[in-house]
Amino acid sequence: MFGVRPEKEKELLDRMRALGIGPGDLEEKFVRSGGPGGQNLNKTATCVYLRHISTGLEVKMQESRSQGLNRFLARRALTEKIESRILGRDTGRVKRAEKIRRQKSRRARKSRKKYGS
């Protein structure tokens, strides 16, 4: 359906089912992408816009040149957003971003101390 391995597709559909997200709860649009990618992007609508109707959360995905893969990635990102809102827990992506932020602030603090700023 999405152009990914069946295991990944099944895992995503199971997560969506567990949260109560059905196909009728999603509004999906395809728009033309922009940026690097050449003639393929200019001719085809590979960018996916996905909106969860009941919560109003939106995702726009343009990671790949493949529409099927972008559909999968958009659903995965939207599921993570809904999980973090409903369950109140941080997803893996949020945790990684926080870790990087802490590392950068630590480096900046060390640098300021070293050079006396």
Residue 48 belongs to domain spanning: 6-86
Identify whether 16 is part of a domain.
yes
Q: Reply yes or no on whether the pLDDT at 101 is more than 80.
A: yes
Domain count, the chain: 1
DSSP-derived pairing of the beta strands 47-52 and 26-31: antiparallel
CATH number for position 57: 3.30.160.20
Give me the pLDDT at residue 92, please.
Answer: 72
- pTM of this structure: 0.72
Cα–Cα distances in angstroms (integers) from residue 117 to residues 24, 90, 114, in the given order: 57, 35, 8
Angle (CA) 13-59-19 rounded to 5° is 35
Q: pLDDT over 90 for what percent of the chain? A: 42
Q: Reply yes or no on whether the pLDDT at 91 is more than 70.
A: no
Pair of tokens at residue 102: 């802490």
Q: Reply yes or no on whether the pLDDT at 117 is more than 80.
A: no
Identify whether 101 is part of a domain.
no
Quick: pLDDT tens for 38-80. 777 778 888 899 999 988 999 999 888 888 999 999 999 999 8
